[in-house]
Structures are given as C-alpha cells and as structure tokens.
Amino acid sequence: MGILGESAMKKIAFIFPGQGAQYVGMGKELYDEFDSVKDIFHNANDILKQDIAELCFNGPEEELMKTENTQPAILLVSIAAMTALKEHGYTPHMVGGLSLGEYSALVAAQALSLEDAIPLVRKRGQYMQEAVPLGVGAMAAIIGLSTEKVEECCQLAEDRGIITPANYNCPGQIVVSGHKEAVEKACALAKEMGARRAVMLSVSAPFHSPLLEPAGTRLKEKLEKIQIKSPKLPVVANVHAKPEDDPARIKENLVCQVSSPVRWEESVRYMMSQGINIFIEVGPGKALNGFLRKISRDIKGYNVQDMASLEKTLQGLEDAI
C-alpha cells in the first residue's frame, strides 16, 4: 500500500544521512535484490570511472573513508534505498537530508539529476578535505548541555581560534567545529558547565565552520555549471530549516551549507509543523532515527538500508497507515 496523495491520513518524509553513516557492505543486499539498484550502481561506476559498487560492498574501509569516496558512496546507497521503497509504492510528501544528505534529498525531489549529483558530491568532498590542512581543524560532539550553553562555550573559546556550532542535531546534542585548540577549550568548558560528555570526533576537517569557506567558493564554480530545477516536492534546507524552490537560491544554500551550521532539529520540527508524522531514514545507518527519538515521541521513525530494514519498514507502514 503506497502513499498516493494528500488525502492519506499519514504524511511521510524521507530523510537522508550524511557523512559518517558509511560502512563496508552497505547497499549490497539491495543491489542483489533489485535490478533498478544494479542499474544505479553500474551507471555510477561509468560516471566516476571507478568501481564504486565494489568499494561500497567490499571496501577496503580506508578507501571508503576518504571523503571524496564517502560522499558519492553514501549518496548512491541512499538513492538505492529510496528506489527500493518506491518499487513498493511509497513516495514522500517532503524530504530533507543532513549535510551531504541534502544532495540525496534534491535528487529525490527531481531538482538535481543523479548523473550530476554523483560527480558533484565527489568534488564537494575533495574541496572540503583540501580547505584546511590535516590537524589544524577539529570537531566535537557536546552531549547533555543546552544550546545556549554550547554557544557560550564557543564564544569563550574564540581566543584560541575560530569555533562555531556546526550541527544542531537534537536536544542535548550539538556538534562544534573550528580550530583544534578552540574546540578542545570548548570541550573543557562544556564539561565544567555540566555537559554529560564532550567527545572529539574522528573527522578529517572542521566541517560546517567558517574555515570551510574556501571549499564553498570552489563548489560555487562547480554548481554554476550544473542544472538545478524547481523541486517536485518540498526539500527542507540545512541552512534555514525551510523549503526553497528557487533553483538559484538552492545553489546559494548549498554553497553556504559547507561553512554554516546544519539546523537539523529545526528541520525536523518544520516538517512536523507541516503534518509529517512518519519519517523514513533512507540510506546507511540509523543515526537520524536516534535524533528523531530525542526531538519528539509523537512521530514514527523507520529506516531502510538493507533487506531486513526494508521489510520491517514496509510492515510498519502497513500497520501505521
């Protein structure tokens, strides 16, 4: 049973994961089960002139973890999972994605072609990696502290360098990003202020901080050569947690997104305000479902990344609708 129109009692959003969700083996079961997914991966292999399918399914992990490989790999597995859902008749009323996941959402809304998105996110990964020398920047997750207190920690640590909130994930979990010494000071301050944990993240660059502005400049040049159309359904943007349907502004948002905070909690709350009560995390991992549970108990969260999760989600949707 699919979601066929606005008359349906339940409204679905597809939400797409960002970098960090990758793992060796992702997408393999969907590839084996669906000819349409095989076509997606074979097409991507041709576009990238690389066996990205082999990398997703069998690694090696250190190659998959390289940002320029991770970003197209996650995008492909996300679109593969969406394709499997659509083959069972399910389409969303609204879409959104965390950081890289916004590109998957734009593909889902037919604003960006998959053929353009695959090489674009590879370049995005390269530009983000090259913007800051290794070891200069850092990111940390601060758990169990209010938004206001985390922002205060960042302000107090600015004497050590640039630092800013990078991901407003959910209540009690905010990621900060910037110069390594400033991030370390913010973590120490957060613990003093009562944070449950302040954990340095294993990342290769200070994503979503002003240090990434050079990457945004390079990405802008690439985006100017790519066609983005008006989305066929609302795509909630990371930078302001609202939909945008003007192609020029969508491009501007994607440039800003590289060095601006991801307003994920606000994005989910916006979708809820529009009547969305079922969220399906489409792609590798289940991190977004963890955030959903902390944002609201009044919504249902599912995920699709392999055959077991697809079957469980399909059963859940049948029962819910």
Q: How confident is the model at residue 204 (pLDDT cuts 50, 70, 90)?
A: confident
Sign of the CA dihedral running 67, 215, 167, 82: negative
Yes or no: say if 303 and 289 are a contact pair by the CB < 8 Å rule.
yes
Number of domains in the chain: 2
Residues 6 or more apart in contact with residue 238 via CB below 8 angstroms: 97, 98, 99, 102, 253, 257, 260, 262, 263, 264, 267
Q: Are strands 235-236 and 94-97 parallel, antiparallel or unpaired?
A: parallel
Nearest to 168 by CA among 37, 260, 301, 298: 260
The mean pLDDT of 16-44, rounded to a whole number, is 97
As separate numbers, helices (DSSP H) first and strands (DSSP E) second, the chain gives 14, 9
Residue 281, domain member (yes or no): yes
115 and 228 within one domain: yes
pLDDT of residue 255: 98
Average pLDDT rounded to a whole number, residues 273-295: 97
Q: Distance (Å, rounded) from C-alpha 69 to C-alpha 49?
A: 12
Residues 77, 215 share a domain: yes
Q: Identify whether residues 221 and 300 lie together within a single domain.
A: yes
Reported confidence tier of residue 320, pLDDT bands at 50, 70, 90: confident
Query: Residue 6 domain-assigned?
Result: no
Residue 282, SS3? Answer: strand
pLDDT greater than 70 at residue 3:
no
Q: Which of 53-57, 71-75, 182-186, 198-202 has the lowest mean pLDDT?
A: 198-202
Does the pLDDT value for residue 62 go beyond 70?
A: yes
Who's near 113: CB < 8 A, 6+ residues apart?
107, 227
Shared domain for 233 and 125, answered yes or no, is: yes
Average pLDDT over residues 227-256: 98
Q: Which two tokens stand for residue 275?
A: 């009547």
Residue 10, pLDDT > 90, answer no
Catalytically annotated residues: 99, 208
Residues 17, 93 within the same domain: yes
- The answer to whether residues 87 and 16 belong to one domain is yes
My answer on whether 76 and 220 are in the same domain is yes
Q: Residue 5 domain-assigned?
A: no
Residue 278 lies inside a defined structural domain of this protein: yes
CB 124 within 8 A of CB 207: no
Over 115-142, what HEC string results?
A: HHHHHHHHHHHHHHHHCCCCCCEEEEEE
Written as six digits, the tokens of 161 are 């360098």
Angle at 270 between CA 121 and CA 21, to 5 degrees: 35
Tokens 């809304």 belong to residue: 109
**Residue 171: partners with Cβ closer than 8 Å, 6 or more residues away:** 265, 294, 295
- 261 & 288 share domain: yes
Contact 118, 41 (CB under 8 A): no
Model confidence pLDDT, tens digit, residues 71-82: 999 999 999 999
Question: Which whole number is the average pLDDT over 279-308?
Answer: 97
Helix (H) or strand (E) holding 153: helix 147-156
User: Can you give the pLDDT at residue 202?
Assistant: 84
Same domain, 286 and 230: yes
Q: Is pLDDT at 286 greater than 50 in this prediction?
A: yes
Q: How confident is the model at residue 9 (pLDDT cuts 50, 70, 90)?
A: low
Q: Residues 303, 313: contact at Cβ < 8 Å?
A: yes
Domain span at residue 104? Answer: 12-131+211-320
Q: Where does the pLDDT of residue 147 fall: very low under 50, low under 70, confident under 90, or very high at 90 and above?
A: very high
Q: How far apart are CA 129 and CA 242, in angstroms?
A: 28
316 shares a domain with 223 = yes
Say what the pLDDT of residue 134 is. 87
pLDDT at 203: 84
Band (8; pLDDT cuts 50, 70, 90): very low
Helix, strand or coil for residue 197?
strand
